[in-house]
Amino acid sequence: MQDLIRRTPEVLREKLNIEVMTGHDVSEIDLQARRIRIQPINGGGETFEPFDRLVIATGTTPIRPPVPGINGEGVFGANSLDDGSRLSEAIDRKDAKKAVVVGGGYIGIEMAEALLTRGLKVSIVDMLPQVMGTLDADMAALVGEALTEAGVDLHLGEKLEGFDEAGGTLAAVKTDKEVLAADLAILGLGVRPNTGLAEEAGIPLGIRKAIEVDDHQKTDEENVWAVGDCAQSFHLVSGKPTWVALGSVANKQGRVAGVNIGGGDAIFPGVLGTAITRFMDTEIARTGLQEREAEEAGLDYVSRTITGHLRAGYYPDPGQITIKLIAEKSTGRLLGAQIVGTRGSARRIDIPAVALHAGLSVEDMINLDLGYSPPFSSVWDPIHIAARQTLKLI
Amino acid sequence: MQDLIRRTPEVLREKLNIEVMTGHDVSEIDLQARRIRIQPINGGGETFEPFDRLVIATGTTPIRPPVPGINGEGVFGANSLDDGSRLSEAIDRKDAKKAVVVGGGYIGIEMAEALLTRGLKVSIVDMLPQVMGTLDADMAALVGEALTEAGVDLHLGEKLEGFDEAGGTLAAVKTDKEVLAADLAILGLGVRPNTGLAEEAGIPLGIRKAIEVDDHQKTDEENVWAVGDCAQSFHLVSGKPTWVALGSVANKQGRVAGVNIGGGDAIFPGVLGTAITRFMDTEIARTGLQEREAEEAGLDYVSRTITGHLRAGYYPDPGQITIKLIAEKSTGRLLGAQIVGTRGSARRIDIPAVALHAGLSVEDMINLDLGYSPPFSSVWDPIHIAARQTLKLI
Q: In chain A, what residues touch B285 (CB-CB under 8 Å)?
A: 371
Contact A57, A258 (CB under 8 A): no
- Tell the CATH superfamily of the A195-271 domain: FAD/NAD(P)-binding domain (3.50.50.60)
Q: In chain B, what residues touch A249 (CB-CB under 8 Å)?
A: 369
pLDDT at A100: 98
d(CA A303, CA A324): 7
**Residue among B246, B256, B314 whose CB faces A1 most closely:** B314
**Residue among A348, A359, A371 whose CB faces B346 most closely:** A371
Q: In chain B, what residues touch A354 (CB-CB under 8 Å)?
A: 350-351, 354-355, 358, 360, 368, 370
**Residue among B106, B344, B350 whose CB faces A351 most closely:** B350
Q: In chain B, what residues touch A346 (CB-CB under 8 Å)?
A: 371, 376
CATH architecture, range B275-391 = 3-Layer(bba) Sandwich (3.50)
Q: What percent of chain B has pLDDT over 90?
A: 89
Within 312-331 of A, beta carbons closer than 8 Å to B belong to 314
Q: Is residue B1 scored above 70 in pLDDT?
A: no
**Residue among B314, B349, B379 whose CB faces A371 most closely:** B349
Q: In chain B, what residues touch A360 (CB-CB under 8 Å)?
A: 354, 357-358
The predicted-structure confidence for B319-340, as pLDDT tens digits, reads as follows 999 999 999 999 999 999 999 9
| Confidence check on the interface: ipTM exceeds 0.90, yes or no | yes
Domain ranges of chain A: 23-52, 75-191, 195-271, 275-391
Q: In chain A, what residues touch B106 (CB-CB under 8 Å)?
A: 373
Q: Judge: B371–A236 Cβ closer than 8 Å, yes or no.
A: no
B367 close to A (CB below 8 A): yes
Nearest-by-CA chain B residue for A350: B370
Best of A354, A379, A385 to substitute, by most chain B Cβ atoms within 10 angstroms, is A354
User: How crowded is residue A182: how many other Cβ atoms within 10 Å of its Cβ?
Assistant: 28
Contact A303, A314 (CB under 8 A): no
Residues B38-55, mean pLDDT to the nearest whole number: 93
* Cβ-Cβ contacts under 8 Å for B113 (sequence gap 6 or more): B150, B279, B280
Within 183-222 of A, beta carbons closer than 8 Å to B belong to none
Q: In chain B, what residues touch A371 (CB-CB under 8 Å)?
A: 274-276, 285, 287, 346-347, 349-350, 353
- Correct CATH for B75-191 of 1.10.3720.10, 3.40.50.300, 3.50.50.60, 3.30.300.30: 3.50.50.60
Least reliable range by pLDDT among A12-16, A249-253, B244-248, B341-345: A12-16
A272 burial type by CB count under 10 A (0-12 exposed, 13-18 middle, 19+ buried): buried
B274 close to A (CB below 8 A): yes
**Residue among A4, A353, A379 whose CB faces B368 most closely:** A353
Within 2-31 of B, beta carbons closer than 8 Å to A belong to 4
Report CA-CA distances (Å) from B149 to B118, B142, B154: 17, 11, 11
The predicted-structure confidence for A333-359, as pLDDT tens digits, reads as follows 999 999 999 999 999 999 999 999 999
pTM of the entire predicted model: 0.95
The predicted-structure confidence for A30-68, as pLDDT tens digits, reads as follows 999 999 999 999 988 999 999 999 999 999 999 999 999
H or E element at residue A140? helix A137-149
Q: In chain A, what residues touch B276 (CB-CB under 8 Å)?
A: 371-373, 376
Q: For each of chain A's 394 residues, which pLDDT tens digit applies?
A: 667 677 777 888 888 888 888 889 999 999 999 999 999 999 889 999 999 999 999 999 999 999 999 999 999 999 889 999 999 999 999 999 999 999 999 999 999 999 999 999 999 999 999 999 999 999 999 999 999 999 999 999 999 999 999 999 999 999 999 999 999 999 999 999 999 999 999 999 999 999 999 999 999 999 999 999 999 999 999 999 999 999 999 999 999 999 999 999 999 999 999 999 999 999 999 999 999 999 999 999 999 999 999 988 888 889 999 999 999 999 999 999 999 999 999 999 999 999 999 999 999 999 999 999 988 998 999 999 999 999 999 9
The predicted-structure confidence for A159-195, as pLDDT tens digits, reads as follows 999 999 999 999 999 999 999 999 999 999 999 999 9
Interface A:B, Cβ pairs < 8 A = 160
A310 close to B (CB below 8 A): no
Phi-psi region of A369 (alpha: psi -120 to 50; beta: other; left: phi over 0): beta
Best of A369, A384, A385, A394 to substitute, by most chain B Cβ atoms within 10 angstroms, is A369
Amino acid (one-letter) located at A332: G
- For helices B106-117 and B137-149, the axis angle rounded to 10 degrees is 10
Within 222-251 of B, beta carbons closer than 8 Å to A belong to 236, 246-251
Q: What share of chain B is helix, strand, coil (3-state, %, to 5)?
A: 30, 30, 40
- For helices A350-358 and B350-358, the axis angle rounded to 10 degrees is 20
pLDDT at A120: 98
User: How crowded is residue B123: how many other Cβ atoms within 10 Å of its Cβ?
Assistant: 21
B6 burial type by CB count under 10 A (0-12 exposed, 13-18 middle, 19+ buried): exposed
Within 342-361 of B, beta carbons closer than 8 Å to A belong to 344, 346-351, 353-355, 357-360
pLDDT at A1: 60
The predicted-structure confidence for B113-170, as pLDDT tens digits, reads as follows 999 999 999 999 999 999 999 999 999 999 999 999 999 999 999 999 999 999 999 9
Minimal CA separation from A48 to chain B, in Å: 33
**Residue among B270, B372, B381 whose CB faces A246 most closely:** B372
Q: In chain B, what residues touch A380 (CB-CB under 8 Å)?
A: 248, 251
- For helices A106-117 and A137-149, the axis angle rounded to 10 degrees is 10
- Correct CATH for B202-264 of 3.50.50.60, 2.60.120.260, 3.40.50.880, 3.40.50.720: 3.50.50.60
Report CA-CA distances (Å) from A71 to A160, A290, B389: 14, 35, 47
Q: Judge: B353–A360 Cβ closer than 8 Å, yes or no.
A: no
B304-334 core/surface letters (b: 16 or more CB in 10 A; e: else): bbbebbbbbeeeeebbebbbbbbbbeeebbb
Best of B259, B354, B380 to substitute, by most chain A Cβ atoms within 10 angstroms, is B354
Rg (CA), chain A: 23
Q: Judge: B371–A287 Cβ closer than 8 Å, yes or no.
A: yes
The predicted-structure confidence for B163-214, as pLDDT tens digits, reads as follows 999 999 999 999 999 999 999 999 999 999 999 999 999 999 999 999 999 9
Give chain B's length.
394
Query: Do the first three CATH levels of B202-264 and B275-391 match, i.e. the same topology?
Result: yes
Minimal CA separation from A341 to chain B, in Å: 15
Q: Is A164 helix (H, G, I), strand (E, B) or coil?
A: strand
Within 110-139 of A, beta carbons closer than 8 Å to B belong to none
d(CA A270, CA B113): 44
B337-352 core/surface letters (b: 16 or more CB in 10 A; e: else): bbbbbbebbbbbbbbb
